[in-house]
Structure 1
């Protein structure tokens, strides 16, 4: 008996270690306390190098992502500008530091240019998998797929469609809503009203890549409504908007060139004054200041046709929000 109890303790300890470690080379361990909350431990040296902003606008964006006084952040920008990657990067860092309890990722399930993939069997996560591959790829920079699956099982990471967000309240969570140029105004309103105490929501999108057939998408609709408020009131300090352009694309030089072609370079987002960076005299880190001023949008000179373009990456002029045709529009 004198050998039995110590041996049993060793076996039990080994079992618990195996159960709660995500891999043999433990990067991330979670255990439940008596309050059913998660405590996180991770080895910094095994985590992939964090994404470093390369342009002034990306610095602004990352500062806004990390600013806990901003509870709702909108970012509009072209493909490859780091909208989703930086949001996931900061979300993972916030989770590791214990600033939030979970990460929630959602997006509209709109096929590109009517390219349907048919019925998908299985759980919500499996049904959402085709739409969340880009986000999952970012998480794979930090965790193995097995680790991600375990965190989903433990509800530390929550992938789901916008329709399943109705009726929920997000408390102490970091929420990333991706590709929201494909949401409807009603979907956007429903999602934004889910934010609870201690939570932060990031809305990413590209107004030049909407796959909706309706005239106005949820992202453009909110910007339309937001502009009059910031012109006459300062009571929306916890809501911010960051604008990225082809100058912020770092996916590759080829992608940057492609974005220039589709933007028409001189007809898209003619910036007379860009977002400004103000140096903090305390520690030398840039502070966030918004926004683009005296910005003009969309040259309609060669855009006489109002028919729907077959290329889903383009929005016809008839689909552009009225504020984007106003030369006095400022963000």
Structure 2
């Protein structure tokens, strides 16, 4: 058994790389077939030459992530370890080869997965981008962050956030309050994302001035949206007609981001999802990008990835039989 000691200039930095949790080092030991011992500013690695090489690369990537502003949490550490164990170190190298940082008023945001980074690259280069995938992949959050950053740089004059107000098991008519109060639950996730990037006072002021507009999809009909960053969330609940209506609102100097999860359609069975058919219609058109997230891009609790994979196996038995992975 060979050994190598990795030294770090600051003990606090080393602690940050594995989220300060001894059980994370145990997780890496098991996944990478090695033994890890840490004291203050050093990490001793014992194992085969190949195992030591994997651990050394792992902590190089983690250190790059920390230097680029990523706060490494337990789910992130597990994700990095899993990629190294699967021999996917090229993905991590590509992820951190060139920093990609979204600057907002309250925080700087960096992609945590290769999928997120590729998505952000599409947002930078294409006026219309579709982000499709399971919950927890950051598709809406990153779109809102990119919109806020564009507004702060004066690239657009306003941000429009919209969702279809589809009744998922509850009837709007029986909810208390006026129309605004009835639709607020549908728009709350967008408010929450926005509040993470701008102060509450600024969100209120910009909303009152019409620079930030949050409204149901139905309010988009008949408008031309110019010099705006427009985000359509929960797009799986648009009908074909609504999707076409929305896309044709695009005006001069505007950008559109459409996000959704095709496994969570709440439309009546008699109505097809506009998100499910739009890729077949628009595939290959210049200026339009489709980005498909997978369970590997989930940045919530690690068990969320396993839940998504389990549902996929249940709904698509052929995937399980052929050994396909989410």
Normalised TM-score (structure 2): 0.62
Is 1:224 the counterpart of 2:271 in the alignment? no
Displacement of 1:116 in angstroms is 4.8
SS in 1 for 2:307: helix
Change (3 A) 1:253 1:121: same
Structure 1 contact 102–155 (Cα < 8 Å) conserved: yes
Distance 1:58 1:45, change over 3 A: closer
- The question of 1:136 aligning with 2:155 is answered no
Given candidates 137, 152, 155, the residue that maps to 1:99 is 155
**Counterpart residue number, 1:280:** none
- In structure 1, which of residues 243, 252, 255 is the aligned counterpart of residue 301 of structure 2? 252
Distance verdict in 2 for CA 1:54–1:117, change over 3 Å: farther
Task: Report if the CA contact (8 A) 1:128-1:159 is conserved.
Answer: no
Please give the secondary structure, in 2, of the residue aligned with 1:79.
coil
Please, which of 239, 249, 255 is the counterpart of residue 194 of structure 1? 249
1:264 aligns to what SS in structure 2?
Answer: helix
Does residue 1:47 correspond to 2:66, yes or no?
no
CA distance in 1, matches of 2:154, 2:162: 21
CA deviations on 1:192-211 (whole Å, 9 max, x unpaired) are: 00000000000001111101
SS of equivalent residue, structure 1 residue 94:
helix
Structure 2 residue aligned with 1:86: 142
**2-side partners of 1:100 and 1:189: how far apart?**
23
Cα deviation code 1:78-101 (max 9, x no counterpart)? 000001000000000000000000
Deviations 1:178-201 (A, max 9, x none): 000001000111010000000000
SS at match of 2:290: strand
Q: For structure 1, which runs of at least 5 residues remain unmatched after alignment?
A: 1-43, 231-235, 269-297, 303-331
Q: CA deviation at 1:55?
A: 1.7
**Which residue number in structure 1 is paired with residue 311 of structure 2?**
262
Distance (whole Å) between structure 1 residues aligned to residue 313 and residue 227 of structure 2: 42
Residue deviations 1:43-96 (CA, integer Å, cap 9, x gap) = x999332321122211110111122xx111111010000010000000000000
Question: Which of 122, 127, 146 lines up with 1:64 in the alignment?
Answer: 122
Q: Where is the helix percentage greater, Structure 1 or Structure 2?
A: 2
User: How many equivalent pairs are there?
Assistant: 219
For residues 196 and 127 of structure 1, the distance between their equivalents in structure 2, rounded to whole angstroms, comes to 30
Tell me if the contact between 2:313 and 2:320 (Cα under 8 Å) persists in the aligned partners: no
CA–CA separation in structure 2 for the residues paired with 1:85 and 1:166:
25
Checking the alignment, whether the CA contact within 8 Å between 2:225 and 2:254 is kept in structure 1 is yes
Cα 1:111–1:50 change in 2 (3 A) is: farther
Q: Judge conservation of contact 2:104–2:148 (CA < 8 Å) in 1.
A: no
Q: In the alignment, which residue of structure 2 is the partner of 1:153?
A: 208
Contact 1:50 1:89 in 2 (8 A): no
Contact 2:123–2:129, Cα closer than 8 Å, also in 1: yes
2:131 is the alignment partner of 1:75: yes
8 Å Cα contact 1:183-1:218 kept in structure 2: yes
Checking the alignment, whether the CA contact within 8 Å between 1:107 and 1:161 is kept in structure 2 is: yes
- Distance between the aligned counterparts of 2:219 and 2:249, measured in 1? 11
Please give the alpha-carbon distance, in whole angstroms, between the structure 1 residues aligned to 2:255 and 2:103: 27
* SS of corresponding position for 1:240: strand
What is the aligned partner in structure 1 of residue 224 from structure 2?
169
1:252/1:155 Cα in 2 relative to 1: closer, same or farther (>3 Å)?
same
1:255 CA drift (Å): 1.8
- Supply the distance in 2 between the matched residues of 1:215 and 1:122 (Cα, whole angstroms): 28
Correspondence 1:206 to 2:261: yes
Q: Using CA pairs under 8 Å that are at least 6 residues apart, name the structure with larger relative contact order, 1 or 2.
A: 1
1:241 maps to 290
Q: Shift in Å at residue 143 of structure 1?
A: 2.4
Q: CA deviation at 1:115?
A: 5.8
- RMSD between superposed Cα atoms in Å: 2.5
The answer to whether residue 130 in structure 2 is matched with residue 111 in structure 1 is no
Relative to structure 2, which stretch is displaced further, 171-180 or 53-62? Answer: 53-62
CA distance in 1, matches of 2:131, 2:213: 21
